[in-house]
Amino acid sequence: MNHVMGTKGQVVIPKAIRDEVGLKPGDEVDFDTQGSEVTVRRAEEDPAAKRERIESLRGIFADMPGFSTKALEADRREEREREERRERERRERRKR
């Protein structure tokens, strides 16, 4: 199969090949070269790299002024209590 590369260097992977190797939109691929050949293959998820990305997100709000997990939990608790109170009031009105 021949395809023409666009001005941005993009090439469409033919549907038959995408289906054969199970590539879907959003999947990552690796490129490799050997001489004048280019190989495209599905990127293998490295468990260590995935864990590192997840751990890098932990504590991203820690330096934000006024942010604390305890304050957030308290806000959520108050919000739940307000909703429960409203629901009880609605039920009481329906009974009347």
| Dihedral angle computed from the Cα positions of residues 39, 43, 44 and 48, in that order, rounded to the nearest 10 degrees | 130
> Tens digits of per-residue pLDDT, 68-93?
778 888 889 999 999 999 999 999 98
Half-sphere CA count of 4, side-chain side, radius 13 A: 2
Across residues 40-59, what is the average pLDDT?
76
Q: What is the pTM of this model?
A: 0.43
Phi/psi at 71 (5° precision): -65, -40
Place of tokens 């995408």: 18
The whole-number pLDDT of residue 13 equals 92
Q: What is the mean pLDDT of the chain?
A: 85
Give dist(CA 72, CA 80) in Å, integer. Answer: 12
Q: For the ranges 25-29, 31-35, 48-52, 62-66, which has the lowest average pLDDT?
A: 62-66
